[in-house]
Chains A and B, each alone.
Chain A
């Protein structure tokens, strides 16, 4: 049906083209000008092809070839277990994106979580008068691209006794993926128009790991928070 629709569109475009060519009077362009224009076009194409091959490849987004350290169906269950224990550093599954530190001496703290982020609170063994916030992301691929570092940045603000956690909702990333033309991919065994690694699934989460001083006891939140039990 898709092929049928495509062929109908091509046929309609072709018939319309023929009608336009016959009906519309195309202004006369001298053959000399036509030649100059065509050869200039060819020259530009050659320059473009040469320039393209001179561009270094190192800065481009690389696609993942292995599943190592990435979220898969099998290790997805293990993630909740690691989060509840606060084991972020030991696993390749988590990537630290940012961290904040605030001096805090009050005994009560209210956590405002605006974007339903996963909040894990860990009480330190010392009373150092500091609240440390560490922002972790789950190492995630999407269509074979590691998008962990492309996700929206988080912000943390401390105002009086309120710790506000915000994620930029307007943040957007557009990525261009070039596919080989159908006439070329037909003859290449490894050519694919879509990366098959989408089977890894989309599983990205922002985790806010908050370390609070030993003496801070009254924790409130507008959302669910998970306390780490030692």
Chain B
């Protein structure tokens, strides 16, 4: 019996600080991933042309997709063997471990959304110095602070949503190693089915458009955060069912 009284949030906070320090490499990877995606974005994304004039469409969508992939991998890293083994070095339980993991993911989402939104400015500057202003359409070139803030917040919601789904998947993989084979097959199978069957296609489209066609940032935030809470809660409940060190 210990004389020191503590609670789960205090322990989670200490774990969060330690894990953030131990997993700082994810931010280093983020920088590398974004630099690579900026480089890929300098290629033509889309173009329309007449006999003499070609208009190249450039956007930061590639950087966003790469950042989303980075976010998914973070959720899997935190539910991986190395990180779960690390939990046993702390005086903790599954709940505090999960809370600290969620806090790490939220921090990663925030950093990821800010750096992604800023990285599109690098892309614009690259073209500005490469071709000059005479060959760049002024519309959407400058990013006003209001648009930049909108970009950060919207991407933050997207990253939280996607990371919560990945985190639940990661916990499922921890629960049963057989799922390591089943889950990718089911995911690919569902995607193939979506492409082939109009009924399932409609079902998946409805799920995706539920988020992607939402024009109100507030409503989108509510949808994304509620979904993330459900997935994170599911992950916490499932991981509580796990035994001791696996």
CA A63 to CA B28, docked complex, whole Å: 40
In the complex, chain B residues whose CB is within 8 Å of the CB of A5: 195
Question: Which of B50, B136, B138, B220 is A202 in contact with, Cβ under 8 Å?
Answer: B50
**Interface hits, B110-151 → A, CB 8 Å:** 115, 118-122, 124-125, 127-128, 131, 133-144, 147-148, 150-151
B155 within 8 A of A: yes
Asked whether A61 and B118 contact (CB < 8 A) given A7-B191, A41-B35, A189-B215, the answer is: no
Structural contact, B56 and A147, CB atoms closer than 8 A? no
Structural contact, A52 and B53, CB atoms closer than 8 A? no
Question: Which of A45, A48, A178, A187 is B59 in contact with, Cβ under 8 Å?
Answer: A178
Structural contact, B155 and A178, CB atoms closer than 8 A? no
Name the residue of chain B whose CB is nearest to the CB of A42: B115
Segment with Cβ contacts to B, from A29-37, A77-85, A120-128, A155-163: A29-37
A179 within 8 A of B: yes
Segment with Cβ contacts to B, from A11-19, A92-100, A218-226: A11-19
Question: Which of B68, B120, B136, B208 is A176 in contact with, Cβ under 8 Å?
Answer: B136
Structural contact, B136 and A60, CB atoms closer than 8 A? yes
A186 within 8 A of B: yes
CA A202 to CA B35, docked complex, whole Å: 38
Segment with Cβ contacts to B, from A103-111, A167-175, A207-215: A167-175
B37 nearest CB across to chain A (Å):
11
**Interface hits, B16-45 → A, CB 8 Å:** 24-25, 27-28, 30-31, 34-35
Size bracket of the B interface: 35 or more
In the complex, chain B residues whose CB is within 8 Å of the CB of A57: 138, 141-142
B235 within 8 A of A: no
Q: How many residues in A have their beta carbons less than 8 Å from beta carbons of B? A: 66
A38 nearest CB across to chain B (Å):
5
B165 within 8 A of A: no
A74 within 8 A of B: no
Structural contact, A51 and B25, CB atoms closer than 8 A? no
B230 within 8 A of A: no
**Interface hits, B182-230 → A, CB 8 Å:** 184, 187-188, 191, 194-195, 201, 205, 208, 212-217, 220
CA A106 to CA B240, docked complex, whole Å: 101
Taking each of A46, A186, A194, which has the highest tally of chain B beta carbons within 10 Å of its own beta carbon? A186
In the complex, chain A residues whose CB is within 8 Å of the CB of B208: 3
A34 nearest CB across to chain B (Å):
4
CA A163 to CA B47, docked complex, whole Å: 38
Can you name 30 A-B pairs with beta carbons within 8 Å? A8-B195, A10-B69, A18-B73, A41-B115, A45-B119, A45-B121, A48-B122, A49-B121, A53-B142, A53-B144, A55-B142, A63-B138, A145-B55, A172-B52, A173-B135, A174-B56, A174-B131, A176-B135, A178-B59, A178-B140, A179-B57, A179-B58, A181-B120, A182-B64, A183-B151, A184-B150, A186-B154, A186-B220, A187-B215, A187-B217
